[in-house]
Amino acid sequence: MIAVVVVEGVLARGDDLRNAQPTKIAKALYDGLHLTNNMIALTRADPEIAKWWLKREHFNGWSSVLSYPDNLHTWDHWRVDQMRGFLADGWEVFAYIDTNGYVCDEVRAMGVTTMALSYPAMPPGWREVAAPRAWSDVVSTIDDSVPWKD
């Protein structure tokens, strides 16, 4: 089984791994997952910088460290595509860990257990929604989901 962890935000505070410190839960999370799973890291950083940072913080034993390669996809879509690829290749995914609610929702829709981390400074919720929905859309969604309505 594999566990897929996004480095920035989950293990590292910030996006620049050249000077990022680990998050408060990083070591415990990594150690717990690494005991029973092959670990795959997803990162925005250059592959060499990412490997250096993981080694510096004693997060050793990764099966793979995958770096966001280009601007053909957004960072969010690239992570979803990576998960789609793991599943298509037949990997059994134990869990996907990220701070982005949209990505976790997309991965969960694929049948994968997700862990959406949130920190006091970055709570999830309505702020992640790009634009509010029209009231008529909300009403029609509720009307469609009410089983006793004629």
Q: Is residue 68 part of a domain?
A: yes
| Residue 74 token pair | 């957004």
Top pLDDT among 121 and 52 is at: 52
Q: Is residue 141 part of a domain?
A: no
Q: Is residue 138 part of a domain?
A: no
Q: Is residue 140 part of a domain?
A: no
Which residue range forms the structural domain that includes residue 26?
2-122
Q: Is residue 144 part of a domain?
A: no
Report the domain count for the chain: 1
| Residue 97 token pair | 């860990």
Q: Is residue 13 part of a domain?
A: yes
CATH number at residue 74: 3.40.50.1000
Q: How many CB atoms lie within 10 A of CB 15?
A: 13
Give the whole-angstrom CA distance, residue 59 versus residue 72: 30
Q: Is residue 132 part of a domain?
A: no
Q: How far out from the chain centre does Cα 78 lie?
A: 11
Q: Note the pTM of the prediction, 2 decimals.
A: 0.77
pLDDT digits (tens, 9 = 90+) for 63-120: 999 999 877 789 999 999 999 999 999 999 999 999 998 999 999 999 999 998 876 6
Q: What is the pLDDT of residue 93?
A: 95
- In this structure, of 22-36, 71-85, 125-139, the range with the lowest mean pLDDT score is 125-139
Q: Is residue 95 part of a domain?
A: yes
